[in-house]
Amino acid sequence: CALAPGHEGLLSNGTMLNGGLIAGALIGALLAGEFKVRVPRQRRRYGQSVVGGVLMG
């Protein structure tokens, strides 16, 4: 069972907290009119983004 102790699966507390954080940030940005998908123009920014993501864990 997915809700049995020790076998949390995808419905763990951490997963639900992370999902709520992301959803809340998205809703807040949409309501404030601040949401925008940004694509870097310079190719080197992609590499910098990957390195930054790896360093963050």
Residue 2 lies in a domain: no
pLDDT at 53: 94
What's the pTM value of the predicted model, to 2 decimals?
0.58
- For 29, 37, 47, 57, the CA distances from 52, given in Å and listed in that order, are 23, 19, 9, 9
Residue 3 lies in a domain: no
Number of domains in the chain: 1
Residue 36 lies in a domain: yes
What is the rounded distance in angstroms from the CA atom of residue 4 to the CA atom of residue 50?
Answer: 37
Task: Name the band, by pLDDT with cuts 50, 70 and 90, for residue 44.
Answer: very high
Query: What residues make up the domain containing 24?
Result: 9-56
Mean pLDDT within 32-54: 93
pLDDT in tens, 9-33: 777 888 899 999 999 999 999 999 9
Residue 14 lies in a domain: yes
CB atoms within 10 A of CB 28: 11
